[in-house]
């Protein structure tokens, strides 16, 4: 694989999914409704306000409380309407993230919500094109895989090599596994709000 450098120009823009403020507001409200439905033991999402939200895309829901992570679960494959995926991932993040106990009703009002809608995940044609903060990464070396969303690199100020190394570590691989034959690197973009 090519060694990444920050001096390379970016290639063609991958697929970009852009939402209106109305669509973002709907999805954030949908996350809250999903968590409320989870407390009640059921529920289903209502029809979305626009056709765009029926696009089959992956999504992550991140919950924070007092600035700290409280749950984050996603589905990377776009195999159902994105509004349904967001609804399901909200309950997964709130009640089934194995790193945290289930969210309790008393925490509901203090939850901060972040939604990431993923573009299709495709093989990265040239690692020099990776732009931390713009691209998310999936490192795959069967049977292990690790995924980091684009905003993670921005939050920590990582350069391209650090981002690749951290994605490998997330997969339980050595940090330089991205350089080895048999390791595949995929990329994607995300609409994060």
- Tell me what the pLDDT averaged over the chain comes to: 92
Q: Give the separation between CA 126 and CA 146, rounded to whole angstroms.
A: 19
Task: State the angle between helix axes of 82-95 and 21-40 in degrees (0 to 180), rounded to the nearest 10.
Answer: 50
Which pLDDT score is estimated for 9?
41
User: pLDDT tens-digit profile of 150-168?
Assistant: 999 999 999 999 999 999 9
Q: pLDDT of 41-76, one tens digit each?
A: 989 998 999 999 999 999 999 999 999 999 999 999
**Does residue 11 register a pLDDT over 90?**
no
> Which pTM does this prediction carry?
0.84
16 token code pair: 């970009």
Q: Where are the domains of the chain?
A: 21-45+52-118, 122-192
Cβ-based neighbour number of residue 18 at 10 Å: 8
pLDDT tens digits, residue range 71-130?
Answer: 999 999 999 999 999 999 999 999 999 999 999 999 999 999 999 999 999 999 999 999
- Both tokens of 92, joined, read 């997964």
Query: What does DSSP assign to residue 29?
Result: H
According to the model, what pLDDT value does residue 48 have? Answer: 95
Give the CATH H-level superfamily of domain 21-45+52-118.
Hypothetical protein ph0010; domain 1 (3.30.700.20)
H-helix or E-strand spanning residue 76? none
For 133-179, strand residue ranges (E) read 136-141, 144-148
Q: Is the pLDDT of residue 29 over 70?
A: yes
Length of the chain: 193
3.30.1490.150, 3.90.1150.10, 3.30.360.10, 3.40.50.170: which CATH number matches 122-192?
A: 3.30.1490.150
């Amino acid at each position: 694989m090519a060694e990444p450098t920050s001096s390379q120009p970016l290639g063609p823009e991958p697929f970009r999914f852009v939402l209106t403020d109305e669509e973002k507001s709907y999805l954030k409200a949908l996350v809250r409704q999903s968590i409320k439905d989870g407390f009640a033991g059921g529920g289903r999402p209502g029809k979305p306000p626009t056709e765009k939200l029926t696009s089959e895309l992956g999504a992550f829901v991140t919950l924070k409380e007092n600035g700290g992570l409280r749950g984050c679960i996603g589905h990377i494959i776009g195999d159902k309407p994105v509004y349904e995926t967001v609804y399901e991932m909200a309950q997964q993040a709130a009640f089934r993230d194995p790193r945290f106990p289930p969210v309790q009703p008393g925490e509901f009002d203090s939850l901060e919500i972040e939604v990431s809608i993923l573009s299709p995940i495709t093989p990265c044609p040239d690692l020099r094109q990776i732009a931390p903060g713009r691209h998310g990464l999936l490192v795959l070396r069967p049977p292990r895989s690790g995924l980091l969303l684009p905003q993670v690199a921005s939050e920590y100020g990582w350069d391209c090599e650090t981002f690749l190394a951290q994605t490998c570590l997330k997969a339980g691989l050595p940090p330089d596994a991205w350089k080895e034959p048999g390791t595949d690197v995929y990329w994607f973009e995300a609409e994060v709000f």
